[in-house]
Copies of this chain bind each other. A is one copy, B any other.
Amino acid sequence: MSHVKVQVPAMKSFCMEVFEKFGFTEEESRIITGVLLMADVYGIESHGAQRLVRYHKGIQSGMIKVDAKPEVVFETPVSAVIDGHEGMGQLIGHFAMELAIKKAKTAGIGIVTVRESNHYGIAGYYAKMACDEGLIGISSTNSEAIVVPTFGKQAMLGTNPIAFAMPADPYPFLFDASTSIVTRGKFEMYNKAEKPVPEGWGVDENGHPCTDPGRVLSNIKAHAGGGISPLGGASELTGSHKGYGNAMVAEIFTSILSMGMTSNYNLLNGHGGTCHLCAAIDPAIFGDKDAIIAHLSTFLEELRESPKREGHDRIYTHGEKEVFAEKDRLVNGIDVDVKTLEEMEDCAEYTGVDFNKYFGNLGVKVHFDPSEHTQY
């Protein structure tokens, strides 16, 4: 498959205009665009512009309500529950994390759960919001059930990512990963590239291992059974029950503690019903904040400096690859595959945005191998 390099400012301006045309305010469009762009500049292409088509379709169908405003329906000094009223996930997530940060700054901790939202992009964005304020940030979301529990053959869980961020020098610790072995975005990338997925990633409608990404994706779409394996694969011997347990913890902190829809009810009958967690913790409630952050920085450095496996010249700490990717993308542009570009053009046409104004003069097409993109 071919892809093109798109400069960050062009993509940013395009997304801003698209979301404003959809009816969001300038400030709202800036938040939504910020979440999408962070995924692309961090090298998590599966969650960036590639997802624009979903927001486009969600708004078009009425599943995402442009005018909805998040409402705090329950609150204590250390917690809150928000009803998103089926609005845009990024705006609700942003609102929830701002509230969690405010609580953490006064009470030391803020845990905010959200129900009745929609897909909110990368969980890491929200965790990073808290981290940028000198706090520990945690965010999670449930999602459409596409993950099959250990010994099951029907998807009952979302890919349910959990993101965790904490300040450190020279760069923060930022861990953002689905609790499934991979996300649907990775299956889509392999499918677009017409390559089989590795053994263990998915199961077919009978619960048997399946390496055909198209079959797994079409089964998911048709609710025909099967889906993606939890982290740890399909067998207890490789820890399937642990990934399944991690997904359950995400489910509890999102849908259960917000009295929202569990993943197995998400996105049915044109209703999103997605639930999130946004939490912030001030490290100062455990003593000398600077000393604690220095302690983490030292350990991260020791990990990076520890002996490497044959064939590998570095050990990454989480968030490090994103820092390097961001430096690269800001100079060299972001990778957008041609199918995504077509979807963007559709979206431009629907909203009345001049696509050629932004992307009339694109770079050289090169070969794109999804197996090089191991994130998520």
Contact = CB atoms under 8 A, between A and B. Distances in A.
A112 B33 CA distance: 38
A310 B206 contact: yes
Contacts of A152: 303, 306-309, 315
Contact of A79 (B111, B208, B285): B285
A262 B259 CA distance: 37
A193 to B, nearest CB: 15
A79 to B, nearest CB: 4
A130 to B, nearest CB: 14
A90 to B, nearest CB: 23
A94 interface: no
Interface residues of A, number: 85
Given A151-B309, A233-B238, A292-B256, A175 B285 contact: no
Interface string A238-270: 110111111011011001111100101000000
A331 B296 CA distance: 48
Contacts of A170: none
A139 interface: no
Contacts of A285: 76, 78-79, 111
Nearest to A200: B238
A140 interface: no
A254 to B, nearest CB: 11
Given A151-B315, A173-B248, A249-B175, A243 B256 contact: no
Interface string A205-243: 011100000000000000001000001110011110111
B236 A154 contact: no
A166 B252 CA distance: 9
B256 A151 contact: no
A203 to B, nearest CB: 8
Contacts of A156: 302-303, 306
Contacts of A244: 318
A202 to B, nearest CB: 13
Copies in the complex: 2
A23 to B, nearest CB: 32
A371 B295 CA distance: 39
A1 to B, nearest CB: 19
A248 B318 contact: yes
A302 B264 contact: yes
A245 B177 contact: yes
A243 B262 contact: no
A251 B262 CA distance: 29
Given A292-B257, A292-B259, A113 B150 contact: no
Contacts of A179: 242
Contacts of A281: 111
A265 B345 CA distance: 55
21 contacts: A78-B78, A78-B108, A79-B286, A111-B281, A113-B286, A149-B303, A149-B306, A149-B315, A152-B309, A152-B315, A153-B309, A156-B306, A175-B249, A177-B239, A207-B310, A225-B307, A232-B232, A236-B374, A241-B316, A257-B292, A259-B288
Given A150-B315, A206-B309, A258-B286, 9 more contacts: A79-B285, A151-B315, A151-B316, A207-B310, A231-B242, A237-B371, A244-B318, A251-B299, A259-B286
